[in-house]
Amino acid sequence: MSSNNLDQLYRRVIMDHYKTPRNKGTLDTNSVNIEMNNPTCGDRILLTLQVEDGIVKDAKFDGEGCSISMASASMMTQAVKGQPVENALKLSHIFSDMMLGKEYDDSIDLGDIEALQGVSQFPARIKCATLAWKAMEKGVQSEEKS
Amino acid sequence: MISKEIKSYFPILNQEINGHPLVYLDSAATSQKPVQVIEALKNYYEFDNSNVHRGVHTLGNRATEKYEGAREKVRKFINAKSTEEIIFLRGTTTAINLVAQSYGRANVEEGDEIVITYMEHHSNIIPWQQLAKERGAVLKYIELEEDGTISLEQVRAAITDRTKIVSMVYVSNVLGTMNPVKEVAKLAHEVGAVMVVDGAQAAPHLKIDVQDLDCDFFAFSGHKMVGPTGIGVLYGKKALLNDMEPVEFGGEMIDFVGLYDSTWKELPWKFEGGTPIIAGAVGLGAAIDFLNDIGLNEIEKHEHKMAAYAMDKMSGIEGLEIYGPADPAKRAGIVTFNLNDVHPHDVATVLDMSGIAVRAGHHCAQPLMKWLNVSATARASFYLYNDESDIDRLVEELRSAKEYFNDVF
């Protein structure tokens, strides 16, 4: 087993988020619900966001999936909570660049999210990592329109 | 006889993936192709390529002979009465859709029933869902036994006088279960229903005899039986096909074309609109020759042996759960499993880093995943080019995967 490569994918911090996810559950009041899945593999996420005055006040996720998808969801909720919508979308953009192996804006401290960088080396797993972020984008955009 | 030599006919298997010799355990998704099939395709394009059933020139004749020759090979392969009953299509999905849209639309009425099972591939669910919605018919599911098999009692419980179509997979792509389609066909006929068999996972692995099964329709795909992608077959009983309308109209399938009305060619061509899948059929013919040389009975025996060996070795891994019948004699060379606490995608990625290709996901069988109460599983599937050493590699790497995830947790 080539564990060097695997270690790039399964960083300890990722496994930590997988095993003890942050913000797991659903918000009940005044929230926007987004359900998304990866039809080819069965990963599923239910994201609930509370957006007020252009700020993501709270975020929780529920669902099932592989370590990468669930860890990414956990990290995403952690990162966008308390952020203005604009910043949340910016983070999502940076994350997308990171997954595509592009140069990304490193002026913002990405914290735990940085650990997911190794996923870009595993093309089949990129969609696992981006699922929660796509749900978040959809959620804040629908909230902005309403 | 299945010997080690067989592997050498499959050029793709002779390579390294991520620094390890490739172990291909995803044949239920698609099989690899032997040189004989690759050469047949190459040869066709280099020497015989032309359009069929038209033109007077020599190449046109050669292409037609090859295309129709492949049809005769298919007829023999499944023991159909006549080549009129062999329709070349894109694959199993297209074949089942043709039955649903042509036979189904003409024969299923409001309140009628279409009966399928919980272990169907999406390709044998959605065409019937659509038909049921369109006709106001009822789609019914046959319950499975605890071990993932189908009992005739449950079939009897589901079929009634209102049943018009019974459609069932011969070999499950997830559980590996071999279903009693011959007996089910009898029950279907007792109430005047037709029996459709999804043979995608059966044709590569067992001797098929459509007359003995007495099924009304039988669908399968070339790419799962060492043939090319994009070619498949619908077998149908002549009397039924004769009464059915085509669903695709255009060139190739017509007899006489007027300004406002046209007539169709006779069987099987009336269902083959447009330039047919000539090279695909030629490749499928070569695949059939290859499988016949080895012998379908030998292949079936080999697969039972592989399944038994894999189940025995894999059940030695603590925390590994295998789905489907525990008796290897009741299943084809498919072993679907989960390693507890490790998601199947993670299992598949770790195996891939060691050169082992398995499938992870819902295997296009979401209702079955629901029945199993899992969101996804990993699946190792074996074919004639796999041997015990492949399974040993799988088991070894599953053990290290388990250790790896125990460590990082």
Cα B377 to Cα A18: distance, rounded to the nearest angstrom: 18
In this structure, is the dihedral angle defined by the CA atoms of residues B359, B361, B365 and B368, taken in order, positive or negative? positive
Strands (E), B81-129: 86-89, 113-117
pLDDT of residue A34: 95
Cα B375 to Cα B65: distance, rounded to the nearest angstrom: 48
CATH topology of domain A3-145: Sufe protein. Chain: A (3.90.1010)
Q: Where are the domains of chain A?
A: 3-145
Query: Euclidean distance between the first and final Cα of chain B, in Å?
Result: 46
Cα B169 to Cα B198: distance, rounded to the nearest angstrom: 4
Across the A:B interface, residue pairs with CB atoms under 8 Å apart total 63
pLDDT of residue B55: 72
B382: left (phi over 0), alpha (psi -120 to 50) or beta: beta
Averaged over A88-102, what is the pLDDT?
94
Yes or no: say if A36 and A135 are a contact pair by the CB < 8 Å rule.
yes
Which of A73, A9, A120, A72 has the alpha carbon at shortest distance from B349?
A9
Contact at CB, B353 and A125, closer than 8 angstroms: no
pLDDT of residue B53: 87
Helix (H) or strand (E) holding A5: helix A3-9
pLDDT of residue B361: 87
Q: Which domains does chain B have, with CATH numbers?
A: 4-32+295-400 (3.90.1150.10), 38-292 (3.40.640.10)
Cα B83 to Cα B296: distance, rounded to the nearest angstrom: 21
pLDDT of residue A11: 86
Q: CA–CA distance from B388 to each of B3, B309, B379, B399 (Å)? A: 12, 7, 17, 17
CB-CB: which of B346, B354, B409 is closest to A66? B346
Helix (H) or strand (E) holding B399: helix B388-408
A141 or B81, greater pLDDT: B81
Question: Looking at the complex, does the CB of residue B345 fall below 8 Å from at least one CB of chain A?
Answer: yes
Largest CA distance in chain B: 74
Single-letter amino acid code for the residue at B398: L
Q: Which residue's structure tokens are 């997979």? A: B169
Q: What are phi and psi of B259, to 5 degrees?
A: -70, -35
Chain B interface mutation, best of A18, A67, A72, A119, highest count of B Cβ atoms under 10 Å: A67
Cα A78 to Cα A59: distance, rounded to the nearest angstrom: 8
pLDDT of residue A41: 73
Name the β-bridge partners of B232. B89, B221
Chain A interface mutation, best of B26, B349, B369, B403, highest count of A Cβ atoms under 10 Å: B349
Contact at CB, B375 and A40, closer than 8 angstroms: no
Yes or no: say if B279 and B228 are a contact pair by the CB < 8 Å rule.
yes
pLDDT of residue A3: 63
- Residue A25 C-beta-side C-alpha neighbours within 13 Å: 7
pLDDT of residue B222: 98
Strands (E), B199-252: 217-221, 232-236
Q: Which of B29, B317, B357, B364 is catalytic?
A: B364
Cα B127 to Cα B234: distance, rounded to the nearest angstrom: 15
Yes or no: say if B394 and B24 are a contact pair by the CB < 8 Å rule.
no
Cα B188 to Cα B215: distance, rounded to the nearest angstrom: 9
Contact at CB, A19 and B409, closer than 8 angstroms: yes
Q: How far is B38 from chain A (nearest CA, A)?
A: 28
Residues 6+ apart with CB under 8 A from B210: B78, B79, B80, B218, B235
Q: Which residue's structure tokens are 């490569």? A: A5
Q: CA–CA distance from B145 to each of B54, B142, B172, B330 (Å)? A: 53, 10, 14, 13
Q: What is the pLDDT of residues A98-125, one digit of tens each?
A: 999 998 888 888 889 999 999 999 988 9
Cα B318 to Cα B337: distance, rounded to the nearest angstrom: 12
Per DSSP, the residues of B269-312 read GGG--SS--HHHHHHHHHHHHHHHHH-HHHHHHHHHHHHHHHHH
Residue B364 designated active-site: yes
Q: Is the pLDDT of residue A146 over 90?
A: no
Chain A interface mutation, best of B16, B341, B343, B366, highest count of A Cβ atoms under 10 Å: B343
pLDDT of residue B405: 84
Using 70 as the pLDDT threshold, list the residues of chain B that sit under it.
Answer: 1, 408-409
Q: Is the pLDDT of residue A2 over 60?
A: no
Minimal-distance CA residue of chain B relative to A128: B345
Q: Which residue's structure tokens are 């991520």? A: B18
Interface predicted TM-score (ipTM) of this complex, two decimals: 0.81
Contact at CB, B18 and A2, closer than 8 angstroms: yes
Cα B167 to Cα B328: distance, rounded to the nearest angstrom: 24
* Whole-number average pLDDT of chain A: 90
Contact at CB, A42 and B343, closer than 8 angstroms: no
Q: What angle do CA B321, B352, B337 make, to 5 degrees?
A: 10
Cα B397 to Cα B356: distance, rounded to the nearest angstrom: 9
Which of A73, A56, A55 has the alpha carbon at shortest distance from A64?
A73
Secondary structure (3-state) at B222: coil
Secondary structure (3-state) at A129: helix
